[in-house]
Structures are given as structure tokens and as C-alpha cells.
Structure 1
Amino acid sequence: MNEYLPLVSLWRLLAVLALVISPHVLRLPVWETALIAAVIGWRALAAYKQWRLPPVWLKLGLTALAFIGVLWSYQGRISGQNAGTALLCVMAALKLLEFRDRRDVMVVVFLMYFMLMTHFLFSQELWTVAYLIVCVVATTAVLVECQHRGALAPRFTLRKGGAIALQALPLMLLLFILFPRIPGPLWGLPADAGAARSGLSDRMAPGDISSLIESDETAFRVTFDGAVPPPAARYWRGPVFDNFDGRAWEEGFATLVPGYGPEVDLRGRPVRYEITLEPNRARWLFALDMPDESSIPEDAILGREGQLLARKLVRERRRYTLTSFTDYRMAQTPQHPRRYLRLPDGFNPRTLDFAQRLRDQYPQDLDYARAILRIFREQPYVYTLQPPALGRHSVDEFLFDTRRGFCEHYSSAFAVLMRAAGVPSRVVTGYQGGQLNEFGGYYVVRQSDAHAWVEIWVAPDGWIRIDPTAAVAPERIEQSIEAALSELEGLPGHLSARTRLRYYLEARWDLINAQWNGLVLAYGPELQQQFLSRFGLDDMRRMILTLTIAITGTLALLGLMLLRKAAPARTEDAALREWHRLARKLTRAGLPPRPAEGPQDYVERVAAARPSWAAALRHIAGLYLHSRYQLDPETAPLRELAHAVRSFRTS
């Protein structure tokens, strides 16, 4: 078979292609990963064994099957973040089956460059950038090698690839700083309709929040300006649910309505802080319970039930500053009281009967609530991440049979018991606590800090927060999830293995990531405008003009550097340099040197034509020959030679 590339060069290209695709392996369907690995492996073996490439009908068949497979794996989609990347990876691999000439090689190399950009659709962490820099250098090295018929030394191609990448660095910085930013990152625009959303959901069912404890992902980072509230007061308010269908809680009505914020009596000292929120593809902007409405961002709304909502989905990392009061009173009367009492028919009969009997003993709302908490605290209820599965009557089975659950089990059961006794209630989800990063001075709130609690309406105090989890596992609220679970059951892997050394490494790495996020990933339209306004470039036309001039100047400078590098090397021989200076003077006088003419012959020829120059020229020739050809040339003759050449006049 006719190979454009030598065998070694082809193997290197296949290795770099595998390197570029490898981070996508965990995201692709299993069948696609196996197909890509098989194609790359077969192509390497086929080149070694000199096998013929597959016939056209087989290549067309594999392409059609791969296309159908992507459609099937992504519910009829071939566009968007996940499906589009999967289609690109498998088609790039199948291109190897018709890999014959230079054009095919160039297509695969440029597909590799394009696939590198797709990694930013899934991660913009610092390690991703470092990995992609390595991939860019390796891909460029392959591109350099593809321009030669013979295999080149890897040291040479990698050095060339690194040099080309460094030459592009000034242009990259100019484009990053000056290119006009659009709202939202490029990777957030074509979002998949079915893309997974990290963090809390818009509903809460048994097991939803406990599954988040398995995740070590960062939800947001918080920097406090002044005193930090104790862990028991750090409730980060998120979605609020008032509709219960017998098993799950959901929002019963839209809360994104301007001008309908809660009526809150804020008390005590304000807490000012800054949150850097990771993208969650939802509208929730988490805030310390309860935020001051006057401090919320312009593009956000404080909902009727106290949750902070963005006007658009949070598809990019965003930073906002708030002021909250941990001591407050939300005293407004429920707008629709009946919806906070509604329970579905035909569900949890034992719970309803128990609530009526307990209510007869405790007619006062707060006394009734305290009685339920006392039952949770004194009876054998267990706080666990591994509760047994629950059936149709989930609250009945939890309260009277299993008695094992996580915060969503306790909050759901408590809210149902309150409604069954005629006390309005709702479930609030969010995060609780947060871990201090000692090196950065900020707090990290992770998905493992997800939590659920309850608010009940008691006149005349209004909505009162009650956390049933605190009755079962107070360590969860006052300390951390690790403290609550360490004595009861095994912790998830990322928590149980958290030694002091691991904490040190994680905290250092998180600090680096936080700085990367703040300086690079958060460089959006607002930050760009603030930065460029210092230089008078806040106007769009000035920005584009400056970018054009800067790019033109940079390209011109790089061009001059390359031209200078391509020019003949300047001699380092001082004596020869002076001799060339003399030859230029004689050339201007009409007596240029002839090819292959030695210094003495040249001087004698000129002396014959210009007898008045003979003595000076013979003196210069003697100094030149002594300085150039003596085994141990002296510095004095060189200085005398330079002086004699400068003193020589042809007119």
C-alpha cells in the first residue's frame, strides 16, 4: 500500500490522536470508545503489516453505523455539546481508514486541532489548559514532521512545535485582552437540552440530595468581608418547594416576578461577602439566609419566598457581592395559604393519623413542632447516606419502618407532619456550612454540603426555619458532614481519605484554581471594560482599532525576526569584518574584488591602478593577514587594522 508517511511518523500521529481524544473517553458511549480504539489499533497494525485499506463499501457502512449510533445514544441529536463532540471524535477516527496521501494527513491533523477546542466545552480548569498546551505542542510537532518524507528526530519536531506555539503566544494574549467579549462563554451558548445540571435540582425526592454527597465538585466560593458567621448560621438559601405529590417536592408556581420580594425584618449585624458561583445551568444564585434586597445584583430578583434568582440561566461562572442578615423575621402572610397545607389524597395514611393524634396533645404550633423534633432525637432514627428504598407511601415507611435517612427524608417527613396538623410549611434546599481554605482566606462550599430544611408559618412570627436534621445529627449543622457520618457509617471516598496532607494539597490546588478563575475565566464583558477603561479603551471602536494595530505590529515584528533569522549570518571574525569594510570602500571607487582573488593579489592589482594608495593598502593587507591567520592573534594588530581601514580614503 502507498503510504505518504513513514511507518514511525504514522505511529507518532496515531499516538498524538489518541492523546487528544483520551479525555473524552469517559464522556463517550462505551461502543464509541471501543470503536475508536479498534480503528486506531488496526491502522497502526495495517501500516506495519502492509495490509490493504478497507474497500469503499465497508468504509461507508461503518460511517453510517457510527452516525446512527450517535443518534441513538443521544436521543436523536447530532448537534450540541455532547452529541457534536461524540460525532467529531468517531469521524476523525474513521478518517484513518482512507489515510493515503498528504491531503488526508492534513485533514486529520487539523481535526486534532479542532478537537482540542472541544475539551473547553466540558472543563476550563487549569489542569485542562496545561494538558492542552502539551497536546498543541505534540500536534504541531506532528504537523512539522508531516512536511518531510523521512522521519525526523522527536527532539527536533517537539522543539519546533514548542517554538511555533511560543511565537503564537503574543497574538493569543492580545486577542484575550482586547477582543470584544460577548455575554456568556462560547461553550455555554449551544447548550444541550439534555445536558446534566450540576448541583441541586428543581425537585427533591428521597435520595436526591444524599447522592450529591458523593460529589466533591465546588458549588461556589465565599469571601467574607469581616466577621464570619458560625457554621450553624451558614445556611445558603436555594430552591424553595411548596408542592408535594406524595413522594417528591417541587415548586408550585413561578417566583421570577419583579417587585414581589419577601417582607423581611432584618435584624442584627449585616454580613457582607462575595460569592463566586460555578455554572449550574439554573437560575439560582445562592445567598446566605437572608439577603438584603437592596444589595442584590441588577440582573437578579429576590423571589417571594426569599430565594435569589437570576434573570437568565447561570451558564458561566459569575461573581456577585451581597449583604445578608442571619437574624431576620419573614413575617408576611402566605399569599396563597392553602398551597402550603396541600397534601395529595391516598398517600401516607399512617402519617396523617399519627399527626392528628399528636396534634391533640400539642395544640400550639411550636409545641407540636418541638414534639416532632423530640421524637426524632429520642427515638432510634439514624442519619445515613444509605437509607433503604421507599415505596409509594414513602413518608409512612420512613417514619414507622426504616427510620433511616438523610436530610431530605427528615425535612420531607417534618413538612408533611406539619401540614397534616394544619400548619403551613415548605421545604427549602440549598447548602449548609462550608470549609475554610486557610491559604486563600475564603470558604469553599461543595456539592457535598447540599442540605434541606423546613420553614413553618407561625403567627405572629411568620416563617420560622426548623432543621429536623439538627435533632438527629447536630454535628452535621454545627461542624460538617464528616463529623455527622464518621461515627455512624463509612464516609464517601473523597471524604474518608481526607488526611491533613490531602487537605493541604487540595487547599493549595483550589487556591490556584480560584486565582485562575478570577483572572482568566471571569474575564468577561464587565471585567474587560473595567480593565481597558484604565487605558481609555472602554469604547468599542477604540478597542477594535487598538487590537488591529497591536496585531499588525506584532505580526510585523515576528516577520522581521524571521527575516533576520533567514538572512546570512553575520561573521564574528573581527579581522574579516574590517577587510570587508575596505573592500566596500574600493568597490565604491570602481575597483571591486574578483571572485577567488586573494588579499595580496587584490591589493597589488589596486596598487597598480592607484599607485598613491599602494603603501596604505600593503600595510592594511599585512595587518589583516597577521590578525586573521596567526595562530595566536594579538589584540593590538586588530585595533591597528581597524584604525588603518577607517583612516583609508579613496578620494
Structure 2
Amino acid sequence: MTTAAPVLSDRVGLAPLGWLTLALTVLLAPHALNQPAWVVALALLSVGWRYMAARQGLRLPGRWLLALTALAATVGVVATHGTLLGRDAGVSLLLVMTGLKMLESRTPRDAMLTVFLGYFVVVTHFLYSQEIPVVLYLAAAMVLTTMALIRLNAVGPPPTLREHAGLAGLMLVQAIPVMVILFLLFPRLPGPLWGMPQDEPAARTGLSDSMSPGSISELLQSNAPALRATFPDGPPPAPLRYWRGPVFSAYDGRTWRPLPDFPYSPDPEPPLAPGTLTYSVMLEPHHNRWLLALDRPASVPAGARLNPDYVLSTRRPVHRLETYNLTSAPAAPLESELNPQRREQNLQLPGGAAPRARALAEAWLAETDAPSEVVQRALEFFNREPFRYTLSPPRLDRDPVDQFLFESRAGFCEHYAGSFVFLMRAAGIPARVVTGYQGGEWNRAGGYLLVRQSDAHAWAEVWLEGQGWVRVDPTAAVAPERIEQGIHAALSGDANVPAFLRRGEGLGMIMTLRFQWDYWRDVTAYYWNGWVLGFGPDRQREFLERLGLGHLDWRGVVGLMVGLLLAVAMVFGLAFLWRNRRPQRDPLARMYRRFARRMARVGIAPHPHEGPRDFAHRVARERPDLRDAVTRFTRTYEALRYGPDPDPDQFKALRLHLRELS
């Protein structure tokens, strides 16, 4: 019969190991969503092996085996990520080493180090997501990790589960004031609250840097927010809710792309006109460089630039929530003078593409030489012919413009915008495609306009003499309800429209509750993103101004922060001293000791074994002159000490009797 080999120098109890195993499992498991499977599996296997070794009395792996495993894991991280630096590689290495540290823990000190590594693992989750459910989950994980820390340091009888959770919760609650002070007052630097340089191209969400048939309609499958905007004077009407994004002027016969930048700077502040809009934008990460603004941007946020196509852009891709203030002048003219190079760029067409569309544009041009009349003819063509606005148009395998205009006549906004711009250029009118978002849903509870990915849109701009660039939306000629009421109204009869866009009647209670849930969830996300994740230098300054502290420079803010931290430390220190103060002595015992000292001064001291009544009898025998006073004091003392319901007046009488003996 064989027996299991003993665990080497295992001085960590089974119960503390159980708590530590549970805490690390809770911390490590969610990383399966963003880390290689082998990394999380190795870490969890190591943690589970350590606990089972203690439970079953198995031998732990030796130092050499652990060293070789650590080396192999490091090589695996390099092979997986191509580096040991950066967010993903660093987190992978931390997870592996946390599991291996747990596996080699043989002493309480080793276990303590593993707990501290667990706290670092908590932080790494915020590098991937800062959503409210993640924060709540990690708060619970923090409590569980702290409970493991308490159990490792427990002396005497093990605490109950309630005592465990209560003490862990108290320790974390005590940290909240310090956390709030540091969050609000620590000097903020421009940049994300949580984030590191991207190790590899991030999954892109939202608009693309090119447009081809079907590229915009793909975004309608997403209900995710694109931006939220607040307006001090109320939201603009639906026809003005055009959120300007990438502008495309280069066309190769199928795909529209932006022109390369060249040395040309438009007026960054177009003359303001009646109807100027002032607003703030909270832009969701889309991992490209442009910022969205209402047509036409009349101001440029700090750190941004306005390119020749009046598109706001930043130096670095938007990998985090961006908050900025803007002014737009929808009626202001854009580029009233078009230089020859710009004109040529916005008239170019690929040779041989769409001959039928070219012929149609030339026929319009033969009937009238006024560009505005040609624009009107094109809109009438879209309105008069049987065009359909649909989310699922047929594939355009040949010439996409001719096939759409004369055969399928079913498409989404990118089909109409692209073909319209082609027709205008064929007629000699400079034109370009503009992509962005159109519309938005006003959230009354939050007081902001919510623009979703499903509001993605494409329209056209034509350059007219004396007017500059003029927005023309051919979609409005086919489906005007798209502009006035939103995408859900334009696609109400489309069988392939996503469920979240079906807002008509007869949806039932489940869909109604879902819309309400989405509504309030977005309100919560708005304030969380704006005042926690988006709490940058501007928000911090706004907060200080609300407190009347806007005049403070960074030295004053640091001084205020240090002062508040010292005040919190003082309050906690006084509370600790008060809680651990010496217990107050019994006033009755103190009174009796005073009585005993007075008797000792007359030569009669109580014996250690002598009770109050026996001592009174002895005093009466040795000093008959004190009998009555001592008897009255002793009877009152016994009534207060041993009586069922002591009377406060008796304590006053006891003081009087003691005074008689002075």
C-alpha cells in the first residue's frame, strides 16, 4: 500500500488556502474574455493544484520544476504577443506568475505575497473595461480578496463568515474617503483614466475611413452609442442633426476614400450666422482620428485641427472617451472660393465607369446649364423613379452606379449619396460624399441627445457659385421620414431591420420594457462616462469652479488635497483611539475604594477576602462611633450593586454617606 508524499514545509492552513483559492479564481476567470486561453488555464490550474495538494496531502512541485515552468510560460507569452511589453503581454505575464506564486506558497509570507498579487490582478481588469457591471464585480472581488487577507492573519478562533465580510467591508469603506479625495483633486493629465498604448490595432467600431456599397448599412446592426451631446438651449430640430465625419472625394469605381492632405487651411472660424449652436460632445472611442461635429464646425477644440474638408481630427486615434465643447454655424458658407486644384479633385471620375449615368447627367446638362437646376433634376429622378430605401439591397457585382440607378434601384444611404455625387461630377459640378450620423434620440432624463451607431448616414455636398459647399441629401428624396423621424421610421417595413429599431405599436410588453431598460441604462452610462471615466482636466476645473475654488493653481489644489488627506487620517486616528480607549472604571467600585482608603486612614483596612458586609461588621466592632455611618454607606452600596433596579437618587445618597465619613 502506497501513501501520498507529504507536502514540503507547508505552514499555511487549509482554511486560509481555501479563501485564497476562491479569491484568485474569481479574479482570474474573467480574463478568459481578453487573454489567451492557455494563460488563464495555466493560472487557474496552478491555483487549484495548490489547494488540492494541501487538501489531499500531495507533494508540491520542486523549485526547479517551477523555475522551468515560469521560463516556458515567459517564452509562451513572447510567442503569443510578440513582446513582453505592453498591456496584453504584461497582463498575461502577471496572471501566469500569480498562479505559479500560489503554487509555490509554503509559508504565510508566500501566501501574503500572493494576496498582494491578487490586488494587482484586480487593477488589470480596468485596462479592458470600465463599465459599471465590471466595477461592481471587481468591488465584490476586492471584498473576497480582503477576506482572504484577514483569514491569513487571524489569530485564535477562526472568525465567522459574517465577521469576515464585516471586517473586509469596513476596511474598504474606510478607503473610500481617501479614494474620493485623490480622484477629485489629484492633478489630472490629459489621457484616459485607465489605458495603455495599444499593442495592436483595436477592433474598430463606427464609421470607416472609406465607403463602398453596404459599408454604412452594416452599422445598423449595432445599437451601441456613438456620441452624446448636450445643448444649453435645447436640441436642434431634426433637419439640422447632421454629425459631420469623414469626407470622401476620391473614387475608384467602387470605393470612396478621402483625399490626402495638402498645404491648404480653411478658415477655422467661419462667420457666425443666425442659428449658431453651442453644445458639448461626449464621443465614444472609435479608434480613428476624426471628431464628430454638427455641420458646420465654427470652433476647434484644444488639440484638434480642421482639415480642408472641414472635418475635425486629432493627432492620435480616439481610443478613449473624448469630451469637448463646440460651436457650429449650420447656415455659414463653406469655402466660397474653390481653387483650381480643389475643383479638379472634386470633379474626377474613373475612366469608363457608369456610362449610362454619364449619359443621364449630360442630358440634364443639355437641358439647363444652371448647376442648381441639375441638382434639382437629380433629386426629382430619385423621387419619381421606383427607388426603395432598404437595409438589404441586392449585390452590385458589375458597375455599382449604373446597376443601382437603372436596375436594382434598392439601396441604403451610401448608394444614394455615392451615385448622386457621380451624377453631379458627370455634369461638371464639384461634389463629394460626407459620412457621419444623422438624427439622435433626446433623452429627457439625462438632458442629452443620444446618437447611436444605427444612426450612421451618408449624404452629398455640391459646390455652387456664390454659395460654397451646399449639403444635399438624396436619401430625403426617397425616404424623407429618415431625416424627420429617424432610421426606424424609414425602415419600418423592412423585414431585416434589427429588433431594437422596431418601435411601432404592437411590440408587446417585453419590447416596451427593453426600450425602457435601454433608456435608463444609457442615462447611467452618460453620467458614469462623463463624471468618472471622462473626469479629465476640464471636468476637474469645472468641479473646482462649482465649489468656488476655480482660482486655485495646481499648487493650491495639491495643498488642498494634502490637507483633506491629513484631516481624514486625523479622524480615523481619533476614531481608532476612541475605540481602543481604556474601559471606564465602575463608578461604584471607585466609590467603594475611596471608602476603603478612608477606613485605612483610621487604622481599619479591608482584607482581600472580606466582603462589604463583613467589613462593615468589623468596623462597627473596632470603632463603634462609626457604626451608623458605615452601616448606612454599606446598605446603600449593596442596594446599588446588587439591587434589581438601582435608583439614581441612591447614588447621590451614597455620596452623602461617604462625605459623613470624612
TM-score, normalised via structure 2 length: 0.83
CA deviations over 1:42-72 (Å, ceiling 9, x no partner):
5555554444334556545554454444444
The alignment status of 1:140 with 2:146, answered yes or no, reads: yes
Of 321, 327, 333, the match for 2:331: 327
- CA RMSD in angstroms comes to 3.9
Give the conservation status (yes or no) of the 8 Å contact 2:28–2:121.
yes
Of 203, 209, 226, the match for 1:219: 226
**Secondary structure at 2:126 match in 1:** helix
AA aligned to 1:410 is Y
Q: How does 1:212-251 map to 2 (within 5 A)?
A: 212-251=219-258
- Aligned twin of 1:304: 308
Of 185, 189, 196, the match for 2:192: 185
Q: 1:292 to 1:61 in 2, by over 3 A?
A: same
**d(CA) in 2 for partners of 1:175 and 1:588?**
62
CA deviations over 1:276-312 (Å, ceiling 9, x no partner):
333445443322212334xx44544443322233466
**Cα drift, residue 531 of structure 1:** 3.9
The alignment status of 1:515 with 2:527, answered yes or no, reads: yes
- Aligned twin of 2:514: 502
- Aligned twin of 1:451: 457
Give the conservation status (yes or no) of the 8 Å contact 2:20–2:148.
yes
AA aligned to 2:248 is F
**d(CA) in 1 for partners of 2:58 and 2:133?**
40
Give the conservation status (yes or no) of the 8 Å contact 1:358–1:368.
no
**Secondary structure at 1:204 match in 2:** coil
- Aligned twin of 2:552: 538
**d(CA) in 2 for partners of 1:596 and 1:482?**
93
Give the conservation status (yes or no) of the 8 Å contact 1:262–1:332.
no
- Aligned twin of 1:560: 574
AA aligned to 2:362 is D
**Cα drift, residue 601 of structure 1:** 7.0
AA aligned to 2:161 is P
**d(CA) in 1 for partners of 2:166 and 2:391?**
52
**d(CA) in 2 for partners of 1:247 and 1:578?**
102
Q: How does 1:51-450 map to 2 (within 5 A)?
A: 51-54=58-61, 59-60=66-67, 62-74=69-81, 76-148=82-154, 152-188=159-195, 190-254=197-261, 260-261=266-267, 264=270, 267-293=273-299, 296-310=300-314, 314=318, 316-335=320-339, 336-344=342-350, 349-351=352-354, 353-363=355-365, 364=369, 365-377=371-383, 381-386=387-392, 395=401, 405-450=411-456
**d(CA) in 1 for partners of 2:591 and 2:329?**
83
**d(CA) in 2 for partners of 1:301 and 1:578?**
84
Name structure 2 gaps, 5 residues minimum.
1-5
CA deviations over 1:326-377 (Å, ceiling 9, x no partner):
33432523342222223456xxx451x1232112211044444445445555
The alignment status of 1:27 with 2:34, answered yes or no, reads: yes
**d(CA) in 1 for partners of 2:499 and 2:100?**
39
**d(CA) in 1 for partners of 2:651 and 2:595?**
14
Between 140-149 and 6-15, report the one with greater CA deviation.
6-15
**Cα drift, residue 493 of structure 1:** 4.8
The alignment status of 1:631 with 2:644, answered yes or no, reads: yes
**Secondary structure at 1:342 match in 2:** coil
Give the conservation status (yes or no) of the 8 Å contact 1:262–1:330.
no
- Aligned twin of 1:482: 488
Give the conservation status (yes or no) of the 8 Å contact 1:240–1:307.
yes
AA aligned to 2:337 is T
**Cα drift, residue 235 of structure 1:** 0.3
Between 589-598 and 16-25, report the one with greater CA deviation.
589-598
Q: 1:356 to 1:77 in 2, by over 3 A?
A: same
**d(CA) in 2 for partners of 1:489 and 1:38?**
48
CA deviations over 1:606-636 (Å, ceiling 9, x no partner):
9999999887666434322221012343333
Q: 1:284 to 1:628 in 2, by over 3 A?
A: same
**d(CA) in 1 for partners of 2:70 and 2:402?**
54
Identity of aligned residues (%): 41
**d(CA) in 2 for partners of 1:411 and 1:270?**
26
TM-score, normalised via structure 1 length: 0.84
**Secondary structure at 2:540 match in 1:** helix
The alignment status of 1:550 with 2:564, answered yes or no, reads: yes
**Cα drift, residue 141 of structure 1:** 0.9
**d(CA) in 1 for partners of 2:349 and 2:463?**
16
Give the conservation status (yes or no) of the 8 Å contact 1:261–1:305.
no
CA deviations over 1:111-146 (Å, ceiling 9, x no partner):
221122223223333333333222221211111112
**Secondary structure at 1:511 match in 2:** helix
**Cα drift, residue 222 of structure 1:** 1.8
User: How many residues in Structure 1 have an aligned counterpart in Structure 2?
Assistant: 640
Give the conservation status (yes or no) of the 8 Å contact 1:238–1:284.
yes
**d(CA) in 1 for partners of 2:312 and 2:593?**
79
**d(CA) in 1 for partners of 2:430 and 2:92?**
49
Name structure 1 gaps, 5 residues minimum.
none
